[in-house]
Amino acid sequence: MRVPVRIYASHELVRDLEHDASLDQAANVAHLPGIVAASLAMPDMHEGYGFPIGGVAAFDLEEGIVSPGGVGYDINCGVRLMATSLRTAELGERLARIVQEVQGAVPAGVGSEGAIPALSRGDLDQALAEGAAWAVRQGFGQPQDLEFTEARGCLAGADPRALSPRARERGAPQMGTLGSGNHFVELQTVDAILDPEAAAAFGLEEGTLAILLHSGSRGLGYQVCEDALHTMRHATARHRIVIPDPQLVAVPIASPDGQAYLAAMRAAANFAWANRQVMMALIERALVRVLGGNRQSLGFRLVYDVAHNIAKVEEHQVEGKRRRLLVHRKGATRAFPAGHGEVPARYAAVGQPVLIPGDMGRFSYVCVGTPEAMSETFGSAAHGAGRRLSRTAARKVAGSRKIDDELGRRGILVAARSRKTLAEEMPEAYKDAAQVVESLAAAGIARPVVRLRPLGVVKG
């Protein structure tokens, strides 16, 4: 190990790790060339491919590596929070209609095709290069949405030519789709205000309707990762990089192999931001069809969109010196503090929103980044509740239970195309997001702002 491993979690959350390989994976990451300070793991950590999910690692640009396992298969899987001025107590029966309308408006599930025709080669190239701005130009959302999107919804240095024909083929029909598994659209009520100043800055009021969207780059991002893993299995040895786990294939950042992967990864990240931008517009239109009015009368706006499977070049202070580093966040999210140049002007006095989704049946949270996160974790925090059970184990525990009926008895409407997905995603399959947030707060790397209670969930 070149650096230590540092885990941010309570004793109870650490006990959940006894039966998976995530602790070993965090230690393996600490062996990689050019790693800076420590191999970090967030309180929602669990076993992933190569890196643990919830893993954060920063690498020197000259001596360090880039590893697809440190980004993940679903490149720029991320979360987008929308707010409204609608009082949830006044929605009544219209809530069920909204859930149904959103399910119909947002294609979801394995292989689902988008709400817009399959993209032409030119349109796909533009989406890959421009990200969310491309979607806005197509009439999906408003230009001000970009201000409240991490990196304004576009990573510079993306190159559509770096993608394989298969990646392009998979992505072209999937713009504006939710996907399956843990991806969702969740209607929520702002249940409690925990930090009034930050909540006011974010425009979140108790008792109002909020909507959380979780999705990524779909088959396109998956194929970019698959292609890179195949290439790097040979390139790792060619660059004489010794790795403790075959899943940690990696190449020097500055090498042609490293630059090719980063160009493709950035393009996939831009595809994901465009995808979420399109879906946000589809959700807005669904609300208007049920409730009437328009964006302004509904008070509909984007609070923030943040990625949690990405590698980005950032500047951080390490041992008193400013350094440019490639920060891998795999199942971890950015958490920049008040005053940081990349925090939207509206939030400059409080910091960046940090979005922590729950598990269909329990609370989600909005937190805010802190100065301690910048000094401790390269400005990073947890990305959600984190799995406790594998999908196979969850299906065994669920047995013949009807998860949608169970949630319905608790006042949570569920629209899903697959009972198998509901079994895999049942609340017991996840850690409690409240415990994750408690660990973040205790460590000082994110501060809770708002608690969100689920009302209705759309799953693939």
383 given a catalytic annotation: yes
Per-residue pLDDT tens digits for 347-359: 999 999 999 999 9
pLDDT at 72: 96
Query: Considering only CA atoms, which of 150, 44, 67, 131 is closest in space to residue 326?
Result: 67
pLDDT at 418: 82
Phi, psi of 357 (to 5 degrees): -70, 150
Confidence of residue 19 (pLDDT cuts 50, 70, 90): confident
pLDDT at 18: 84
pLDDT at 266: 98
For 365-392, what is the mean pLDDT?
95
- What sign does the dihedral 267-273-279-284 (CA atoms) show? negative
Residue 183: DSSP 8-state: -
Which residues make beta-bridge pairs with 459?
A: 184, 416
* Residue 20, CA distances (Å) to 106, 214, 253 in order: 34, 25, 30
| pLDDT > 80? residue 111 | no
Per-residue pLDDT tens digits for 145-200: 999 999 999 999 999 999 999 999 999 999 999 988 889 999 999 999 999 999 99
Catalytic option among 214, 316, 328, 383: 383
- What sign does the dihedral 40-345-203-86 (CA atoms) show? negative
- % pLDDT > 70, the chain: 100
| pLDDT > 80? residue 460 | no
Structural domains present in the chain? 5-459 (3.90.1860.10)
pLDDT at 173: 95
Q: Residue 40 is encoded by which pair of tokens?
A: 């970090």
pLDDT at 109: 75
Contacts 24+ apart (CB under 8 A), 393-398: 393/429, 394/423, 394/424, 394/425, 394/426, 394/428, 394/429, 395/420, 395/423, 395/424, 397/426, 397/428, 397/429, 398/422, 398/423, 398/424, 398/426
Per-residue pLDDT tens digits for 229-272: 999 999 999 999 999 999 999 999 999 999 999 999 999 999 99
- pTM of the entire predicted model: 0.97
Which residues make beta-bridge pairs with 356?
A: 365
Per-residue pLDDT tens digits for 32-47: 999 999 999 999 999 9
Distance CA 380, CA 440 (A): 10
